[in-house]
Each structure stands twice: as structure tokens, then as C-alpha cells.
């Protein structure tokens, strides 16, 4: 494990940036570290950042803050990595801390806490590497991270810092799963409802027990008890399904689609991923697709993030159209966004794994029937498959499965496919359409089948061209347009029904026709898939589910929670069998735990526990609710406490949520989904969990590669002769996100040691706007350190340590500068523009430095507000100065300075005088000067007068308070 940043027992001798001959009371790293430790201890001892709830066990002290508006500031749940922090990690944490401290001083009751997302794959893998139990390494890592964050001086309420691995926490994660399991989605009411109400509807006959578990469409009474339970299970929001899943042998688990990258490898570790069928837990997030989409409008989120979520949900509207097959009593249902082009369909395509392919493809093709054209050899995909669709399809599937994902998605890849020996009829005109299996149609989207319209779809065009299929345009392209599909608008042609209509009208007309003739209907489809929710891992939440002899899942009652994760000596996934071996969850090895005798209402019986565990996303889906009420044993969160902290602007939710853009889709979509379920069930009061989202940028740094292309430790590289060298070998410089993989991490420990935490905080906030990525430059830190040194020196005598401030009033100019700074800093802090806030404070302090250099002492009237304004940014230094200025209490709750409006109004203003738009002079004029006075004063300015002499002024533009512009003829 890396060295831990600790300020306890600071060793002064190793402080490199402390000058031996410097004055004894200079603000340097040694002094900074000493007072940082002092104030961190003070805040802890005085419970400075304990924030009260309106009721319940954490409500002590609420009466004093009851009149303050609440503010909930949240950081994305950190994962306690074994490698420790680098300076890129705390950027967002510092930002929220500055904001929270500012708002606390500005009169808000601020909730800010930090917990740990401690289950999951990396913990398990780290434990495997170090040969220790994940519980041990996780606890060590959390302790390490707590220490590193404490050293930053973050003002968190320590009572609320839950970890997902706490039994008291994951008990509630399991409880939420049970809530989901025991609900179904009522499309009519558009909300989740108790499963008992579904059963009532089945029993009363109000609703048919339809679904995949009842393919024959029997009535409820015709089903035996087991069949009834299977029907109900298939309606639940948490259901099991045999599904093709992303199986990673190297990780020993199944991954969600979202965790697999475009190359078909795992996001985590870049291991190969294989598709294989497996019975899995799924959460029916697709039922919430419309609400997840629509409610984005309630949120104050960065627009790109909303766009990503919209794209991920991928709502498309169009029509489903039914094409009857000629050879059998089957119908192929397709989804299209362009129903208007149905007259241009010249063939149909099924995804290779579409179940109808097996049904429709005969062993031997009977040859062309009446009205059918002959079939070219190229349609069969090989000479030996001519006339034998089943052979052709079988071989085609084999070819497709051999392709890697990368090959499959290659852009210029030629379209392939085979004829399955069957035809369908176009419902609108009776045209005979050959049916193909081709992998450019995906089983996972729409119905897994399309009508191909090569005239108006480029993919269909490519396929039609490759296999010699006819192309018919049904939208008139521009005159010169040729050689590709036309997707633009234009009048419909070649239909005899829609001709002349624009696309939108034609679509509507076709949908009406389809619905009237029972051949299809308007339809909506989504890219979003249901959430694959089980993992074959050890280090996760066990499901509160057992199986009886019938093999069907049974929910445990709340009274049997938590289902504790059993101790296991061996928790590695079994990968011996390779990619084809069935994955075996590690928990299956805990036989004593798996086999249980329980009374679930019908007497003690033998059951087997579910051995999958939940994905890491589960714990991070609701932690922000537990921060509110971390010790509640009877409720997930007390309703009154939830209402107090979560009620806010439209949709409600956390007031400010700061985190990385990498969670734009997965975490933020899953958490919204769970929140909406909890809302439907009445456990939370708001539609949305996070009202305002802010993405902090990443910290980047130079990285270096050696001649073999491997990254080398950046801190060991030397620069000379215009090049970069390591051990005499040349290395090449790159630039990228700071981290382990590029070997360019800078530890905060080093920065604390050389400058102190306040300087690190200040530097990270000064580097640029919080939402921009910025390059780390250790050399630049000194600027912020100097600034703090000057602030200190302006208040504290470096030789004696005595405070030296003047109680006499400040001069007029300095006071005006102060009030302008206050107004600007307040504004900047509200908008998270800390970089410009710091610039304003620097200006103010530079002014103080002038005053001191001119032989005066810094006026208390200026110093105290300056210290208060610095407090959110550099709290240790500010507390120390505040205390030395004679204030016995922490400034954490001191009112933030307010600008005096009178001081912001200028008696005179400087205006610019332009001639032909070029600045030629400037004037001090009374702020209230009239336009005429301004023009007259401007004309009188000597330089301007000279330029205007003998010239015709064609026009005069006067902008009060800004400028006068003379436009010459």
C-alpha cells in the first residue's frame, strides 16, 4: 500500500520547502501543517460539521438552524481503492467543500457527507492480488482514504459516512430489492404497484395472465399453482430470465451491456467477453423509459449529459407492421421509423438468432412457386447450400459467431446474409418479399426484424446491391441525386396511395391505414434494455431470495433481513473450464449457508439460497438517501427527514451533485430508476434524486513512454537538451488523465509535505473552471503558496508572530475594492467559479500588501472580511487568522461578508473614447453624466480633438458608463 498522507506527528525535517534562514513566523509548509492538524482536530472535537436533521436521532441542535434554508451538497460515492488518492481525485471533493462551507456561512443548513462504495469487482481483485480477504482490504482502504480526505480539511458530517459493505447498509439494499421484486408495473396507471394487486386482477379476470410463462394464453383458473407463480414472476419488476449475457471468464462474472466496450471487452480490465445464455436476474428499467426520458426536463444538468441519457434510452417512434408469411401460418412483425416507405419494401430481414428463422427455414426449398422469381445462387451463401435454407442459415450463423465484435462493426464491412427459403406479403400492396437472415439486423432492438427499403435506407441499399435485390424509391430525391439511399424529405412517389405527400403526412396516413386494416399500428421502441442485475461474484450484496423444491424464487420477509454475506476462504471465481464452462458463483461453495430451513408461512421447509450477488451499482443507487438518516433501523429513511432535505426545485432532489462525466449514463440512470420506484411506492417524496448535476473536469498530466512504448514513471523523467530522458534513454512525452495506467500520478502527500493542504486546495480551485479538464503543474503551485504567505504576512509579523492590524478605518479606495471583491466573490462562489473568486481575493490582498509596504498596518476593516472570504477555500489558515484576530469561535458559521451597496456605486466612472471604433483615450466622468456631457467631454480630450480636427463626424455613439465612439465620414 502506498504511503498514507498523515499530518499526525508531522516530521519537520523532511519539509523541503522550508527555509532555514526564514523568519520564525513565516507561513511555510511547516507552519501550514502544524495549524492544519490543529484545526482538523478542533473541528472533530467540536463536532463543527455535525448537521442536524429536523427530527430523529440526528436532530440535536436543529432548533438553532430551523430558520435556515436547507442545502444538500453531494459528491459521487467514492470507491476506496487500494492505491490511495492522487491529486486528481479530490478535485470535486474540494469543490463541494468550498461550496458547502460558503453556503454554510451564507446562512444555509448544509448537509455534506462522504461514504464509501466498497463492494464490487475491484475490491475483490485487489484482495486476490494481496492474498487477503476483501473485508480486510476494504476496511484498510477505507481507513486510508478517510485519513487522506481528513488531511484535506473537508467539512463532512462524519456520522453519515456509510459504506455499502456495512451490514446495516446492505440490509436496506436487500430491502429495496424486495420492494422491486414484489412490484409490477401497471402501464395504465403508469406506476409500480404491489404484486398482490396483480394477482387480484388475474383472479377476478380483470386482467389476462399473459406473458412468456403462459404462451398458450390460458386463463388463470386453468393454470396450476406452479404455473400461476411462473406467470406472476414474469410480471415482476425484478424477474429471472434466460438471456444471452456478457460472460467474462477472466473476471468470472456476467457484465451488463454497459460494462462491455465497443471492442467486445470488459470496461474493467479489458478482458474478452463472450455471449452465452444464462439464467439471470433482470430489473425492468424499460418500464420507466418514458419517465426517465421526460423527467430529464425537470433537471438542471449539463446538456451533454442529458443528451447522453436520451441517446441511451433511445426512444424512436414509428410503426410496427405485420407481414404474413406465404408458406406457413406465421406473421413477421417489424418495427420501422419510416412507415411511409412501406411501398418501397423489397425484402424482409430477420436477425440471425430470430426464433422465426428456425420455424420458417425449410430443410429443402421447394423452388419458385407461382409468382415467385427464381433465386440467384448468391442468396444461399455457398454452392453446397443452394436450395437448402436450413444448411445456409446454420452455416451463416456459425460465420457470424466467429466474427469478433470489432470485425462485425467495422464500418466498411460488406453486408452479408442468406435467403431462408420463405416469402412474406407486403400488407399494403400484396408484393411478394423474400426473407433473409442477416447480421446487420440486431435481435436486441425493435422486433429483431425489419422491412428493407433500399431506396430510403443506406444499409438496405448496401445489402440490396450486394445480393442483387430490387431497389424502389418512394420519396422523390433531388434531380441530381443518384447511387445511394435518399433519406431526405420530398414528395412520395410510386405508391399510388401516398404520392405527393411529405414524409410526416405520409407516415400518418400509413399508420391510419395499418390500424384500420389490422396490419400494424403506431409504435414506440427503445434502445434501453432491462438491467442485468446479477453477478457471479463474492464481494457483493447477497439476494434476499431462496429457492424451494420447485425451483421458483421466493422472497424472504423483511424480518429475515439482512442476509449476511458468509465468510469464505476461497472467493475466487472458478475459471478452470474456460469460456465454455458454466460460471459458478463463489457463494455456491458456502454449502452450509446455501442450504437453509425456513418457515416462509407454510411451516419449516428446506430452501436453497440464491448464490448470485448484486452488481456494484446497487449500493450506489441509493446512498444519498441513507446519508439523510444513517442509523434508522425501521425505515430506509424517515419520511420527514427525506422531505426536509430532498424537497426543492422542480422534481426535487439533491441540490448539488458533483462527479465525473463517466457516470453520465450508468450510475445516474440506475439511481434515477431506483428513486422513481421508491417514489412510486411512497418511500421518498421526490420524483428525482439529483436536481442539479455538475461534472468536474479531470486533472491531466504529462506522461512518458519509453522506446518500447511502455509508460514509465513520470516523476523519474528528466528534461534536458530539449528532450526527455530516463536512465539515459530517450522517452516521448504525452498528455493524459492522471492515474495509474499512465504512471503519471502525483500524490497529495507530497503536496501537503511541501506546501500544506490549504495551498493544494487553493491551487486545485485556481487552475481553471471546475468543470474543465486542466493540466497539473507542480511548478505552478508556488503562486498560491506565495499568496497565502502574503495574506499571513499582512496580518502576522513574521519575526514576532504578533498580529498587526490597524483599527483605524481603511482609505476610501481600499474599502471600495473590498466591497467590489465581496460582491464578485459571492457571485463567483454561488456559481462555482472559484478560480475567478481567488483572483478577486488576490487583488484585494495585493492592495493590502501595498498598504503595508507604504508603512501602514492592514486595516482590520479589510482583513476580517478577507479572512472570512478565504475561509471556504483555505479553512485552516482562515480559522487560525480569525482566532488570532481575537475571535474565540470557529468561523465555519460566521456570516459571509455582504457588500455595502453604497460602496459599489461609483461617483465617477472611466469611459473610453473611440474614433472609428479604436480606443484613443479615456476620461473620468461623473457617473450620472448625460449623453451630451459625455460627448462634449470626449470631444475636449486633446488626443481625440486632434483626430477630429478637420474631419466630419458622421455619427456619435454614446454608451453611458462605457464609451463614446466618433464615426468619421
Q: Of the ranges 140-148, 361-369, 407-415, 744-752, which one interacts with RNA (CB under 7 A)?
A: 407-415
Distance CA 119, CA 541 (A): 8
Q: In the numeric block, which cell numbers belong to residue 962? A: 462605457
Query: Is there binding between residue 772 and RNA (CB under 7 A)?
Result: yes
Q: Which of 708, 700, 702, 701 minimizes the C-alpha distance to 730?
A: 708
DSSP run (H or E) holding 702: strand 699-705
- Is 55 in contact with 94 (CB distance < 8 Å)? no
Of 420, 435, 450, 929, the one binding RNA (CB under 7 A) is 450
Least separation in angstroms between CB 699 and RNA: 10
Distance CA 624, CA 653 (A): 10
Task: State which residue, 157 or 258, has the beta carbon closest to RNA.
Answer: 258
Query: Is there binding between residue 307 and RNA (CB under 7 A)?
Result: yes
Of 833, 862, 867, 896, the one binding RNA (CB under 7 A) is 833
- Is 392 in contact with 422 (CB distance < 8 Å)? no
Q: Which of 754, 734, 752 minimizes the C-alpha distance to 743?
A: 734
Of 221, 226, 328, 413, the one binding RNA (CB under 7 A) is 413
DSSP state of 768: S
Restricting to residues 225-264, name those near RNA by CB under 7 A: 262
Q: Of the ranges 199-207, 217-225, 333-341, 630-638, which one interacts with RNA (CB under 7 A)?
A: 333-341
Least separation in angstroms between CB 226 and RNA: 34
Distance CA 762, CA 765 (A): 5
Least separation in angstroms between CB 179 and RNA: 29
Least separation in angstroms between CB 711 and RNA: 16
- Is 211 in contact with 244 (CB distance < 8 Å)? no
Least separation in angstroms between CB 408 and RNA: 5
Least separation in angstroms between CB 183 and RNA: 27
User: 831: which residues sit within 8 A by CB, 6+ positions away?
Assistant: none
- Residue carrying the nine cell digits 467543500: 97
Of 943, 945, 951, 953, the one binding RNA (CB under 7 A) is 943
Restricting to residues 910-939, name those near RNA by CB under 7 A: 910, 912, 914, 916-920, 922
Restricting to residues 187-216, name those near RNA by CB under 7 A: none
Query: Is there binding between residue 790 and RNA (CB under 7 A)?
Result: yes
Query: Is there binding between residue 789 and RNA (CB under 7 A)?
Result: yes
Least separation in angstroms between CB 110 and RNA: 25
Q: In the numeric block, which cell numbers belong to residue 228? A: 400461476
Restricting to residues 12-31, name those near RNA by CB under 7 A: 16-22, 28-29
Query: Is there binding between residue 741 and RNA (CB under 7 A)?
Result: no
Distance CA 966, CA 935 (A): 9
- Is 565 in contact with 578 (CB distance < 8 Å)? no
Of 785, 819, 826, 860, the one binding RNA (CB under 7 A) is 785
Query: Is there binding between residue 457 and RNA (CB under 7 A)?
Result: yes
Least separation in angstroms between CB 584 and RNA: 30
Of 63, 370, 479, 853, the one binding RNA (CB under 7 A) is 853
Restricting to residues 272-291, name those near RNA by CB under 7 A: none
Q: What are the C-alpha distances in Å from 154 to residues 325, 395, 791?
A: 68, 62, 22
Q: Residue 167, exposed/middle/buried by CB under 10 A (0-12, 13-18, 19+)?
A: exposed
Query: Is there binding between residue 843 and RNA (CB under 7 A)?
Result: yes
Query: Is there binding between residue 769 and RNA (CB under 7 A)?
Result: yes
Query: Is there binding between residue 959 and RNA (CB under 7 A)?
Result: yes
Q: What are the C-alpha distances in Å from 587 to residues 17, 574, 946?
A: 53, 11, 91
Of 112, 338, 761, 819, the one binding RNA (CB under 7 A) is 338
Query: Is there binding between residue 442 and RNA (CB under 7 A)?
Result: yes
Q: In the numeric block, which cell numbers belong to residue 134? A: 476483501
- Is 760 in contact with 22 (CB distance < 8 Å)? no
Task: State which residue, 441 or 646, has the beta carbon closest to RNA.
Answer: 441
Q: In the numeric block, which cell numbers belong to residue 742? A: 499512465
Least separation in angstroms between CB 861 and RNA: 21
DSSP bridge partners of 520: 321
Query: Is there binding between residue 779 and RNA (CB under 7 A)?
Result: yes
Least separation in angstroms between CB 947 and RNA: 8
Q: Of the ranges 134-142, 361-369, 403-411, 597-605, which one interacts with RNA (CB under 7 A)?
A: 403-411
Query: Is there binding between residue 839 and RNA (CB under 7 A)?
Result: yes
Query: Is there binding between residue 653 and RNA (CB under 7 A)?
Result: no
Locate all alpha helices (DSSP H) within 655-725, ordered by sequence. 666-680
Restricting to residues 342-361, name those near RNA by CB under 7 A: 351
Query: Is there binding between residue 848 and RNA (CB under 7 A)?
Result: no
Query: Is there binding between residue 479 and RNA (CB under 7 A)?
Result: no
Q: Of the ranges 110-118, 425-433, 441-449, 892-900, which one interacts with RNA (CB under 7 A)?
A: 441-449
3-class SS of residue 113: coil
Of 446, 573, 586, 619, the one binding RNA (CB under 7 A) is 446
Q: Which of 253, 255, 265 minimizes the C-alpha distance to 571?
A: 253
- Residue carrying the nine cell digits 435485390: 469
Query: Is there binding between residue 784 and RNA (CB under 7 A)?
Result: yes
Query: Is there binding between residue 62 and RNA (CB under 7 A)?
Result: no
- Is 789 in contact with 28 (CB distance < 8 Å)? yes
Query: Is there binding between residue 311 and RNA (CB under 7 A)?
Result: yes
Task: State which residue, 387 or 736, has the beta carbon closest to RNA.
Answer: 736
- Is 798 in contact with 23 (CB distance < 8 Å)? yes
- Is 873 in contact with 757 (CB distance < 8 Å)? no
Task: State which residue, 362 or 768, has the beta carbon closest to RNA.
Answer: 768
- The three-state (H, E, C) secondary structure of 383-449, written as one string: HHHCCCHHHHHHHHHHHHHHCCHHHHHCCCCCCCCEEEEEEEECCCCCCEEEEEECCCCCCCCCCCE
Q: Of the ranges 387-395, 493-501, 541-549, 760-768, which one interacts with RNA (CB under 7 A)?
A: 760-768
Buried/exposed code over 835-863 (b: 16+ C-beta within 10 A; e: otherwise): bbbbbbbbebbebbeebbeeebbbbbbbb
Distance CA 75, CA 656 (A): 8
What does the per-residue mask of binding to RNA show for 516-555, with x meaning CB under 7 A?
Answer: ---------x-x----------------------------
Restricting to residues 659-698, name those near RNA by CB under 7 A: 661-662, 664-665
Least separation in angstroms between CB 338 and RNA: 5
Query: Is there binding between residue 759 and RNA (CB under 7 A)?
Result: no
Q: In the numeric block, which cell numbers belong to residue 564? A: 449476511
Least separation in angstroms between CB 115 and RNA: 26
- Is 122 in contact with 21 (CB distance < 8 Å)? no
Of 221, 408, 606, 733, the one binding RNA (CB under 7 A) is 408
Query: Is there binding between residue 768 and RNA (CB under 7 A)?
Result: yes
- Is 17 in contact with 99 (CB distance < 8 Å)? no
Q: Which of 218, 253, 224, 454 minimizes the C-alpha distance to 346?
A: 454
Of 696, 842, 874, 890, the one binding RNA (CB under 7 A) is 842
Query: Is there binding between residue 268 and RNA (CB under 7 A)?
Result: no
Q: Of the ranges 10-18, 178-186, 322-330, 617-625, which one interacts with RNA (CB under 7 A)?
A: 10-18
Distance CA 16, CA 782 (A): 13
Least separation in angstroms between CB 944 and RNA: 10
Number of residues that bind RNA (CB under 7 A): 94
Task: State which residue, 534 or 789, has the beta carbon closest to RNA.
Answer: 789
Q: Which of 478, 474, 488 minimizes the C-alpha distance to 339?
A: 474
Query: Is there binding between residue 951 and RNA (CB under 7 A)?
Result: no
Query: Is there binding between residue 854 and RNA (CB under 7 A)?
Result: no
Amino acid at each position: 500500500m502506498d504511503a498514507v498522507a498523515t499530518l499526525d506527528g508531522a516530521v519537520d525535517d523532511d519539509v523541503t520547502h522550508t527555509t532555514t534562514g526564514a523568519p520564525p513566523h513565516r507561513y511555510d509548509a511547516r507552519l501550514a501543517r502544524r495549524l492544519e492538524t490543529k484545526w482538523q482536530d478542533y473541528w472533530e472535537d467540536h463536532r463543527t460539521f455535525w448537521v442536524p436533521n429536523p427530527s430523529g436521532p440526528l436532530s440535536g441542535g436543529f432548533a438553532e438552524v430551523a430558520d435556515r434554508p436547507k442545502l444538500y451538497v453531494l459528491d459521487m460515492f467514492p470507491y476506496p481503492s487500494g492505491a490511495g488518492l492522487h491529486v486528481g481525485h479530490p478535485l470535486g471533493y474540494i469543490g463541494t467543500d468550498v461550496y458547502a462551507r460558503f453556503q454554510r456561512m451564507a446562512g444555509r443548513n448544509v448537509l455534506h457527507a462522504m461514504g464509501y462504495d466498497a463492494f464490487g469487482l475491484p475490491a475483490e481483485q485487489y484482495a486476490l492480488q494481496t492474498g487477503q480477504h476483501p473485508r480486510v482490504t476494504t476496511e484498510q482502504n477505507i481507513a486510508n482514504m478517510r485519513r487522506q480526505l481528513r488531511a484535506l480539511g473537508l467539512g463532512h458530517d462524519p456520522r453519515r459516512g456509510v459504506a455499502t459493505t456495512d451490514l446495516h447498509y446492505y440490509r436496506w439494499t436487500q430491502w429495496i430489492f424486495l420492494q422491486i421484486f414484489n412490484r409490477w408495473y401497471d402501464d395504465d396507471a403508469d406506476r409500480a404497484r404491489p404484486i398482490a394487486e396483480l394477482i387480484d386482477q388475474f383472479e377476478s379476470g380483470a386482467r389476462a395472465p399473459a406473458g412468456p410463462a403462459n404462451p398458450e394464453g390460458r386463463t388463470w383458473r386453468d393454470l396450476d399453482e406452479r404455473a400461476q407463480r411462473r406467470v406472476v414472476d414474469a410480471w415482476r419488476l425484478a424477474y429471472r430470465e434466460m438471456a444471452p449475457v456478457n460472460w467474462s471468464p477472466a473476471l468470472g462474472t456476467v457484465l451488463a451491456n454497459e460494462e462491455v466496450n465497443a471492442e467486445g471487452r470488459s470496461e474493467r480490465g479489458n478482458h474478452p467477453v463472450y455471449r452465452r445464455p444464462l439464467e439471470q436476474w433482470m430489473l425492468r428499467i424499460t418500464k420507466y423509459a418514458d419517465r426517465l426520458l421526460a423527467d430529464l426536463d425537470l433537471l438542471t444538468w449539463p446538456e451533454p449529459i442529458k443528451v447522453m441519457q436520451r441517446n441511451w434510452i433511445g426512444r424512436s417512434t414509428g410503426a410496427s407492421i405485420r407481414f404474413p408469411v406465404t408458406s406457413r401460418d406465421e406473421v413477421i412483425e417489424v418495427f420501422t421509423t419510416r412507415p411511409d416507405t412501406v411501398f418501397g419494401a423489397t425484402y424482409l430481414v430477420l436477425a440471425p438468432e430470430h426464433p422465426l428463422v428456425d420455424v420458417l427455414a425449410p430443410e429443402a426449398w421447394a423452388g419458385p412457386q407461382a409468382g415467385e422469381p427464381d433465386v440467384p445462387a448468391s442468396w444461399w451463401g455457398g454452392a453446397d447450400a443452394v436450395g437448402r435454407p436450413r444448411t445456409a442459415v446454420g452455416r451463416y450463423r456459425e460465420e457470424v459467431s466467429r466474427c469478433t465484435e470489432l470485425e462485425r462493426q467495422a464500418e466498411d464491412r460488406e453486408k452479408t446474409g442468406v435467403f431462408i427459403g420463405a416469402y412474406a406479403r407486403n400488407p399494403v400492396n400484396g408484393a411478394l418479399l423474400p426473407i433473409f437472415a442477416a447480421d446487420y439486423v440486431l435481435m436486441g432492438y425493435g422486433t429483431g426484424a425489419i422491412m428493407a427499403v433500399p431506396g430510403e435506407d443506406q444499409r438496405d441499399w448496401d445489402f440490396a446491391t450486394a445480393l442483387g435485390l430490387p431497389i424502389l424509391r418512394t420519396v422523390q430525391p433531388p434531380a441530381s441525386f443518384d447511387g445511394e439511399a435518399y433519406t431526405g424529405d420530398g414528395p412520395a412517389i410510386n405508391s399510388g396511395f401516398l404520392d405527393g405527400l411529405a414524409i410526416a403526412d405520409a407516415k400518418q396516413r400509413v399508420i391510419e391505414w395499418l390500424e384500420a386494416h389490422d396490419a400494424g399500428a403506431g409504435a414506440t421502441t427503445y434502445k434501453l434494455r432491462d438491467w442485468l442485475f446479477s453477478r457471479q461474484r463474492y464481494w457483493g450484496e447477497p439476494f434476499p431470495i431462496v429457492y424451494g423444491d420447485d425451483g421458483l424464487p421466493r422472497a424472504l420477509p423483511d424480518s429475515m433481513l439482512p442476509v449476511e454475506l458468509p465468510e469464505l476462504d476461497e472467493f475466487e471465481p472458478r475459471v478452470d473450464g474456460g469460456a465454455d464452462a458454466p460460471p459458478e458463483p463463489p457463494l455456491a461453495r458456502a454449502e452450509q449457508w446455501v442450504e437453509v430451513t425456513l418457515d416462509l408461512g407454510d411451516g419449516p421447509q428446506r430452501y436453497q439460497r440464491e448464490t448470485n450477488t448484486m452488481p456494484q451499482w446497487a449500493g450506489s443507487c441509493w446512498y444519498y438517501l441513507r446519508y439523510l438518516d444513517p442509523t434508522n433501523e425501521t425505515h430506509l429513511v424517515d419520511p420527514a427527514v427525506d422531505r426536509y432535505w430532498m424537497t426543492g426545485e422542480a422534481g426535487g432532489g439533491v441540490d448539488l451533485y458533483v462527479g465525473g462525466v463517466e457516470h453520465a449514463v450508468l450510475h445516474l440512470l440506475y439511481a434515477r430508476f431506483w428513486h422513481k420506484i421508491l417514489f412510486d411506492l411512497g418511500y421518498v417524496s421526490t420524483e428525482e434524486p439529483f436536481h442539479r448535476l455538475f461534472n468536474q473536469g479531470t486533472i491531466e498530466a504529462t506522461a512518458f513512454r519509453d522506446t518500447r512504448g511502455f509508460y514509465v514513471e513520470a516523476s523519474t523523467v528528466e528534461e534536458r537538451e530539449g528532450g526527455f530522458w530516463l536512465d539515459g534513454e530517450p522517452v516521448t512525452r504525452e498528455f493524459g488523465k492522471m492515474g495509474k495506467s499512465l504512471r503519471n500520478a502525483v500524490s497529495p502527500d507530497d503536496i501537503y509535505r511541501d506546501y500544506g493542504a490549504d495551498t493544494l486546495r487553493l491551487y486545485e480551485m485556481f487552475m481553471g473552471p471546475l468543470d474543465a479538464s486542466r493540466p497539473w503543474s507542480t511548478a505552478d503551485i508556488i503562486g498560491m503558496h506565495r499568496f497565502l504567505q502574503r495574506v499571513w504576512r499582512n496580518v502576522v509579523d513574521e519575526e514576532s508572530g504578533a498580529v498587526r492590524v490597524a483599527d483605524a478605518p481603511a482609505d476610501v479606495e481600499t474599502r471600495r475594492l473590498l466591497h467590489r471583491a465581496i460582491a464578485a466573490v459571492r457571485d463567483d462562489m454561488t456559481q462555482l467559479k472559484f478560480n475567478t473568486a481567488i483572483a478577486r481575493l488576490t487583488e484585494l490582498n495585493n492592495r493590502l500588501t501595498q498598504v503595508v509596504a507604504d508603512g501602514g498596518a492592514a486595516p482590520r476593516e479589510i482583513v476580517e472580511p478577507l479572512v472570512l472570504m478565504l475561509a471556504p477555500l483555505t479553512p485552516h489558515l482562515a480559522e487560525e487568522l480569525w482566532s488570532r484576530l481575537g475571535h474565540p469561535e470557529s468561523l465555519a458559521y460566521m456570516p459571509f461578508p455582504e457588500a455595502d451597496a453604497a460602496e459599489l456605486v461609483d461617483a465617477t466612472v472611466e469611459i473610453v473614447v473611440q474614433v472609428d471604433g479604436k480606443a484613443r483615450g479615456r476620461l473620468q466622468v461623473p457617473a450620472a453624466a448625460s449623453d451630451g456631457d459625455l460627448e462634449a467631454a470626449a470631444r475636449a480630450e486633446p488626443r481625440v480633438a486632434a483626430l477630429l480636427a478637420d474631419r466630419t463626424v458622421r455619427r456619435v455613439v454614446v454608451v453611458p458608463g462605457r464609451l463614446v465612439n466618433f464615426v468619421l465620414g
